[in-house]
Amino acid sequence: MDRDKHGWKWLLSAPALLVLIAAASGPLVIVGVYSFLSPGTMGGVSWVFSTEAWLRVFMARDIFDPEVLSWNAAHLTIFWRSIWLSLQTTLICAALGFPTAWFIATRPPSSRTLWLFLITIPFWTNLLIRTFAIQELIRNSGTINSLLLWAGLIDQPIQMLFTDFAVLLGMAYVFLPLMVLPLFAAMDKLDFRLVEAGYDLYASRLQVLWHVIIPMVKPGFIAGSILVFIPAIGAYVTPRILGGGRTMMMGNLIGLQFGQGQNWPLGAALSMLLLIIVVGALVFYLRVVNREEDTRRG
């Protein structure tokens, strides 16, 4: 009975799920298997079962005395830094993206699509080229410093490139449309009578924003935050080029194991761990959101 009622929902999702299982999630099983094997010669794996990779995710063998195990401080630092950076990126994107999406959504319908396109046009240029352009903008003898020096506002160039500021700037740049577009999609059909009702009840702009507008566009916020936060954890190019590669992010650490480090099982185990953390967080998050909705509806 129940199955019949829900069958169509599955049917609608089926084509997408098939593609995903064939070309993304399915092959990931291979990575899961690899995390329990031994490293091969110069990359790859040798088919010998081992839990060493998983052990090494958390624990470090002392280089000079392999019998001595301790917490892998380097890995833990890198995990934490990635999560913290993604969080900051998401917040910056939300802080810039919400007003931007609102601005677009409140334009007359005729020009709305134009503004929307304006958000995505910069992303037609390749990521590397765009990142190099940002680098040119902020480096010591770059455009911004030259202008400031010329205007006499500073007498020494400000070191912006290769700093945390540069990484955050670059990350916000890359991920901004992923926040703006879902927010816009949610705002576009906003019922302004509700906003008006708020003002009629003498609510201040801030109160209306907080109690009326934000709850109404919440789905857009959720979608945008997921689209920004999760890929930001694995970001690779931006931290390397704008941050100067002085410190690694999770994406760089995993990339190192599959590349120059030539330890595929460790790379696989690190990837699986990342997957588990993200899926866990997502499921927990959805549970909370659903429960909230239930209490509101109930």
Partner 1 sequence: MKKTYLLGAAALLASTSIASADGVLNIYNWGNYTSPELIEQFTADTGIEVTITDFDSNDTALARVRQGGHGFDIVVPTHSFVQTWINEGLLMPLDPEIVTDRGNIAPQWVDVAFDPGREYTVPWQWGTTGIIVNTSIYDGDINTADIILNPPAELDGRVNVIPEMSDVMAIAVYAAGGDDVCTDDMEIWRAVRDSLMAAKPHWLALDYGTLDSYVAGDIAAGVYWNGSSMRARIQNPDLAYGYPATGYPVWMDNAAVLADAENVENAMIFINYILQPEHAAMLSNFARYANGITGSDAFMDPAMGEAPEIVIPDEFIAAGRFSSACPQEIQDIRTQIWTGLLQ
Partner 2 sequence: MARSFSVKRLPGFGAIALLTFAMLYLPIVILVVYSFNAGSSQSNWEGLSLRWYQAALSNEQVQEVSIRSLWLAATASGVATVLATLAALGTTRVSRFPGQTMIYALINQPLMVPEIVTGIALLIFVAFLKVNTGYAGMGYMVAAHTAFCIPFAYLPIRARLETLDSTLETAASDLYANPVQAFRHITLPLMVPGIIAGFMLGFVISLDTVVITEFVKSAGQETLPTYMLGQLRRVVTPEMNAIATLFLALSILIVTAFFLITRKRG
The amino acid sitting at 83 is I
Q: Which of 32, 99, 219, 259 binds partner 1 (CB under 8 A)?
A: 259
- Considering only residues 237 to 276 of the shown chain, the ones binding partner 2 according to CB under 8 A are 250-251, 254-255, 258, 264, 267-268, 271, 274-275
Instruction: Check residue 88 for interaction with partner 1 (CB under 8 A).
Output: no
Instruction: Check residue 74 for interaction with partner 1 (CB under 8 A).
Output: yes
* Closest distance to partner 2 from the beta carbon of 10 (Å): 7
Beta strands in the chain (DSSP E): 38-39, 45-46, 59-61, 69-71
Cα dihedral: 239, 243, 248, 249 (round 10): -30
- Considering only residues 154 to 183 of the shown chain, the ones binding partner 1 according to CB under 8 A are 161-162
Tokens 């088919």 belong to: 47
Tokens 């992010």 belong to: 249
Give the one entry of partner 2, partner 1, none that residue 13 binds, where binding means its C-beta sits below a cut-off of 5 to 8 angstroms depending on kind: partner 2
Q: Which of 252, 254, 273, 274 binds partner 1 (CB under 8 A)?
A: 252
C-alpha span between 12 and 246 (Å, rounded): 47
Q: Which is nearer to partner 2, 49 or 117 (CB)?
A: 117
Instruction: Check residue 86 for interaction with partner 2 (CB under 8 A).
Output: no
CB-CB neighbours of 190 under 10 Å: 17
Interhelix angle for 26-34 vs 264-297, to 10°? 130
Secondary structure (3-state) at 204: coil
Residues at the interface with partner 1 (CB under 8 A): 39, 41-44, 60, 63-64, 73-75, 77-78, 132, 135-136, 139-141, 161-162, 240-241, 244-248, 252-253, 256-263
